[in-house]
Amino acid sequence: MFLDNFSKDRVLVQGGQGTVYKGMLKDGQVIAVKRSRALDESQWKQFINEVILLSQIKHRHVVKILGCCLEDDIPLVVYEFICNGTLSEHIRNPIDEFIFTWEMRLRIAFKSATAVTYLHSEFSTPIYHRDIKSSNILLDDKFGAKLSDFGISRAVSVEQTHLTTRVQGTFGYLDPEYFYYGQYSEKSDVYSFGVILVELLTGQKPIRALRPVDKDEEETSLAMYFISSMNDNTLFEILDPLVLEGSKKEDIVEFANLAKQCLYPTGLERPTMKEATMVLERLRYRNSSCVPPLTPNDQADGWTTRNSSMITSSMETDNAFSKIGHV
């Protein structure tokens, strides 16, 4: 494995848990190597947890683990290399001559949703990711989404409805119920995913400044700002201009309604990830020339068919559009 002695030139990303480097195997395969910082006992458990979980997960939209090294005090994990960086980078730091279209945003949202749905309901033991955010969604050469960073994820028994833990995660994405009561459920992942949907709509950070020029600037969550805009019927005033290009207002409203439902204050009010995925699937294919295949297992796997009612019904969308469409 070639890493050039962990040269700074090979750093892909640095975080609180360590540094990810670009490397290469003897056969020429490009890889990403996560080199953790020196770990204490609890951090070792977190590291081992990530390796065990990723070794069991097989999904096209979850980053693959290729191996690990536990011989030294500083452990290494080898992942497939995902070449186009993070979703967060593309939302907030657009590349020259690259247009982050509405159709691309829909596709990324849908594919990310399928990965989380898999963790919640298609995997043999449900898994709560617990740190869903745009910087943990990697984009491949075709801008397909890959969910990453399972360091604080937890597998739970089917009978469990939540985990009671000390609060971990990233501010701006934290479920209010989890933040105040320390109880994490699958609906906490749904809340975090809702924040990503709002990022895709607005192009803004999950924590935003109210007065960006003022030295005494205040900060508020993007989720609160978005909900306020929806309630005030000013949604179209906060959208990323690129979202308005090549999209229909009614599709934007339906997408926004889904985001709002994911951000409801209590988990019981929020849709499941399966329900959110179905809404995004409908929107995605409505905005492309493809026709979604209907598989025989749709009903057997607990999925409603594409002709069934979605979590965001057409009536709800029409009502919302009648209020917002004049903007």
Which are the catalytic amino acids?
131
Q: Using an 8 Å Cβ cutoff, are 23 and 33 in contact?
A: yes
Query: Could you tell me the sign of the dihedral formed by the alpha carbons of 87, 93, 96, 98, in that order?
Result: positive
Q: What is the CA radius of gyration of the chain?
A: 20
Q: Do the beta carbons of residue 163 and residue 183 sit within 8 Å?
A: yes
The encoded tokens of residue 128 equal: 């709560």
> How far is Cα 113 from Cα 119, in angstroms, rounded to an integer?
10
User: Quick one: which of 180, 151, 115, 165 has its CA closest to 15?
Assistant: 151
DSSP 57-88: ---TTBPPEEEEE-SSSS-EEEEE--TT-BHH
3-state secondary structure of 155: strand
DSSP-derived pairing of the beta strands 18-24 and 30-36: antiparallel
Q: Whole-angstrom Cα distance, residue 145 to residue 63? A: 9
- 9 φ, ψ (degrees, to nearest 5): -65, -20
**What are the angstrom distances between the C-alpha of 200 and each of 116, 118, 141, 215, 284?**
17, 22, 19, 28, 14
How many other C-beta atoms are found inside a 10 Å radius of the C-beta of residue 19? 17
- Bridge partner list, 208: 220
Distance CA 185, CA 175 (A): 9
